[in-house]
Amino acid sequence: MEGIGQVAEEFSFDKEKEIARSFSKRFQWEMMLIGVGQATIWLCLWPLVIYGYISLFVGSLIAIVCACFAYLPSHEAQHGNFSRGNPKRRWVDSFVSHYTLITLMFPHDLMRCTHMKHHAYTNNPEKDPDYDTASSKTIWGVIVATQAGITKYQSIAETYKDDKAFMKSFHKGLNVALMYRAILLVLVVMFPLEALLLWWLPSKVGVIYLSTFFSWYPHYQMDTGRYKDTKFWSHWMPRYLNHSMQLHFVHHLHPGIGHYDEPKAIEALKPFLIARKVPGAENIPDRVAHNPLIRM
């Protein structure tokens, strides 16, 4: 595997994997609650706003918060972290991901197949579907990159046109994306300002938030290869507001570790990460407690 060089036996890849595996078993109930919860709240906003129980402005603010919480539950599902390899539970992955992504107007199948390619080819300019945002020079560049619309996905399809499994998922997702677009266009005729401020604007803010914290900060100016493609970083924002994406590097090493188990996993894996010279590993606190990842 690329990036696995020689280190002392006590920090061997097998031992690292063994520790990581111990954090990769728990059912991610928090993520399920957040995913299903935010999508349900978002759906409830429509009648509440239309019948005047809350103002459109307040509804829009709540919808934006929902949109910022929408992707991560799907991300866990894309990695099978709800089913944990149990075929009988795979429907949970699919249900949570499809449902939580409604707020962002994202199709699960499209997200899953492109995300798997992101893991396989992180920071590869030709093959990483997230390279456009990860390579942006500023946050404004990230914002511009997220507005490319269908153009980005046309170029991804061109790159992977010979990968049958990828293209099958891609087209399945594309149909769902078109359905979302059609629903939005019907809604905008009936409820124009509600469609703008409850769905279109929150989804845009959500995608920018997602691209900034999940893609740009962890991968910007990083190399390719295991232990080198993602960094530990710090930020002025409390980590619960940026989904603890400072810890995103451990997800790239061991995607099976659930999001809420990452802090404990990093504490256990810190010596391994330092031995492997993971960028920023020496700055990892010994205890990832309530909020030690702030840099003022």
Partner 1 sequence: ENAISNHIANWNMVWFGLIFWGSVFNAIAINYELTLNPMLWYACGLLLGSIAKIRGTWL
CA dist 52 and 48 (Å) reads 6
Site for partner 1 in 198-217 (CB under 8 A): 200
Among 58, 139, 165, 185, binds partner 1 (CB under 8 A): 185
Are residues 225 and 278 in contact, defined by beta-carbon separation less than 8 angstroms?
no
Q: Does the protein bind partner 1 through residue 104 (CB under 8 A)?
A: no
CA distance 110 to 206: 17
Chosen residue from 151, 162, 164, 240 binding partner 1 by CB under 8 A: 151
- Contact pick of 144, 179, 241, 294 for partner 1 (by CB under 8 A): 144
User: Any contact of residue 178 with partner 1 (CB under 8 A)?
Assistant: yes
Nearer to partner 1, 70 or 195 (CB): 195
* CA–CA gap between residue 257 and residue 30 (Å, rounded): 14
The window from 13-21, 36-44, 111-119, 144-152 that contacts partner 1 (CB under 8 A) reads 144-152
Site for partner 1 in 152-171 (CB under 8 A): 154
Region binding partner 1 by CB under 8 A among candidate stretches 13-21, 180-188, 256-264, 277-285: 180-188
| Cα 77 → chain centroid | 10
- Which residue pairs from 233-239 have beta carbons closer than 8 angstroms and sit at least 24 positions apart in sequence? 233/280, 234/283, 234/293, 234/294, 234/295, 235/293, 235/294, 235/295, 236/294, 236/295, 236/296, 237/294, 238/291, 238/294, 239/291, 239/293, 239/294
**Which residue, chain included where needed, has tokens 């990860």?**
134
Q: Max alpha carbon distance in the chain (Å)?
A: 66
Nearer to partner 1, 4 or 148 (CB): 148
CB-nearer residue toward partner 1: 175 or 291:
175
Q: Answer positive or negative: Cα dihedral of 277, 278, 283, 284.
A: negative
Which residue, 27 or 191, has its beta carbon nearer to partner 1?
191
| Count of residues in contact with partner 1, rule CB under 8 A | 19
Tell me which of 40, 55, 86, 147 binds partner 1, using CB under 8 A.
Answer: 147
Instruction: Using CB under 8 A, list all residues that contact partner 1.
Output: 143-144, 147-151, 154, 178, 181, 184-185, 188-189, 192-193, 195-196, 200
